[in-house]
Structure 1
Amino acid sequence: MRTALVIGTGLIGTSAAQALASRGVHVHLADHDPAQARTAAALGAGTDEAPEGPVDLCVVAVPPAHVATTLADAMRRGVARGYLDVASVKGGPRRELEALGLDLSPYIGTHPMSGRERSGPLAATADLFEGRPWVLTPTRDTDTEVLNLALELVALCRAVPVVMDADAHDRAVALVSHMPHLVSSMVAARLEHAEESAVRLCGQGIRDVTRIAGSDPRMWIDILSANPGPVADLLSAVSADLDETVSALRSLQSSDEAKRGEGTTGIQEVLRRGNAGQVRVPGKHGAAPAAYDTVAVLISDQPGELARIFADAGAAGVNVEDVRIEHATGQQAGFVQLLVQPAAAPKLTAALRDRGWAMRQ
């Protein structure tokens, strides 16, 4: 791949363009808002000048509702040898393209499983996709050359290709992305009118649960409008679980011992099922989640403190597998949780204590 055209210079389009440009591909940028394309160009994502002739690959990075019309226009103009989109749903746009009677051999639907709470070109980064799954949904009609171009794109963005059926993909993202986003938003909505004294007690748990609720509502309306059925089915199942959990909690209020026992059993069951589901979430490098030990260190809110603690861990010969930061409410300090292999935890604890760090037991 030597040339590419990216149509849509939001977070995903600009990030992909930056990754391609940084690896020697000449990237052209287009957007319904020319100012946004100019911003992306200024960030090193390519040029906002139109290509003089057909490019190797056209990447359509627009909301799901506009994918089919944007692709159809690009294909009719013959702007590229191959075409793909990066929308978060795959079945609907393809059926819309089929209804338009287009030859879909030069097209493949794709979806990079990566994003951020922020949107727009200013939120883009060339390493957004590194190590992340990038779903490809080829059909029997997909030209081999186009599949190879898509695989090259994934490789240049340093993502991991995953081949799926389009409708299976849509059911999967409803489960792991779309439904969780709505649930996160529902939990966060409880905070909107909560007492300030309650909100001040927010800890890492509520931050984890509500983090994705900070995303752009307009973007999510586009996404959910393109995949409403599977998301509604999942929320219906969650609703049934909620009803059973509410009933179990009410039973715990009963003066009847047998009723309280039923409530305890009900709560235990939902927590057990939660444990069973959580351990299936892939861990580092997509492998089965590992059981890491946590080394918690008190850290002040000063420049260079995180860099210093990582340097000290490296000097101790310990690889930090993951890291979490727990902020202390109302204080210029917090705890850094360093997740390490169990055998390395005592060594790291001793080394950091020797270097003057305050440890939390």
Structure 2
Amino acid sequence: VSEQVLLLSAGLSLGFLSLLLLSLMLCYLWRKRKNQGQYEELSSPVPSVPACSAPVILVSQCWYPVGTVHAGLYSSSPLKEVVAPPPGMATRLCFSVEYRHSGEQLMVTLFRLGNLPPRFHRNVTLVELRLLPDDRRPRQAKARGTGPDPEFSDCFIFQVSAVCVPRSTLSVCVLSVEQDCKRLPVGKILFPLEGELSQGGRVLWKDLDRADDTKYSEQGDVQVSLSYSPTQQRLSVGVLGTRGLQVLTDTGVCVQVSLQIHTQVVKMKRSSVVKGENDPCFDHRMAFKLRSQHLDEACLRFELQQPHYINTEAPLLLGDLVLGPFMYAKGPQLQHWMDMVNRPQETVEQWHRLSRAT
């Protein structure tokens, strides 16, 4: 009898506990359903930014949503007031450069151009960025509008080690695109990174080196065109004109172009002599056979020469120029070569300063 009483007591206890748990579960489900009618479920954990608010620039990889700000309660200055161009007539670019050591990333943010020449106001403005000497393919940004001060909203990330940053140069080329898709050079900036990243993320204004700047170098300038055809393995070179040459005699001027691979001269060609002009216009074109695998090993050397009065004597050198990859050239000379490589079949023209002949 005692065993039956114990079993009955245990059964009643288990039944009571089951009813209690079932009651608690039903109560919880009822309260949850009631609360859903009072509150709306959040669709996203990240707060949305009102469309009318000012642009937000992410300055840190570690950020956390806190809340939203109603744009109508605060007065925000437009971009032209926040980064207004400094006084002057030079065409300037506003941008920022920041290096993040944790991810070995160089971040370049474009804001706006200032004082764009009037003839470019109706055109589309493009900016091409490269990180020299290794970056061959340019990153491209398109302005959001036209006029004298077109604005940008672009951020570019270059993966580069901290060891290579001091040896790198940021190349910025500004182009104006006409309705027929013809690209006109506006100017460029070569920004060495060594010693410029102490204050990461600061806003910079830099003057563009104008494409039509007629300031002559000490030895004079030469205009050169380059074009490379991978299918024909052919390097086409044009010597178009000169300006500001320091002519020594009245025997005329010629140009000698040498194709060199490493230290070996592969081919040498010379133009005819142009006489009776202070700034001779050559418009002389020549072609060299060059395999694609040698584009990183070859260079072109240009020598502006004046024939000697005595034919047997060596000509007088007025200046020289070297165009090629990073092992031979830097700055505009390097960029001209890289433009040719990255734009096959297209003729790329550029003025270059002559160096003093040694």
Fold in common (TM above 0.5):
no
- Give the structure with the larger helix fraction: 1
- For the aligned pair, the TM-score class normalised by the smaller chain equals under 0.3
- Give the structure with the larger strand fraction: 2
Q: TM-score, structure 2 length as denominator?
A: 0.23
Q: Say which one has the larger Rg.
A: 2
Q: TM-score, structure 1 length as denominator?
A: 0.23
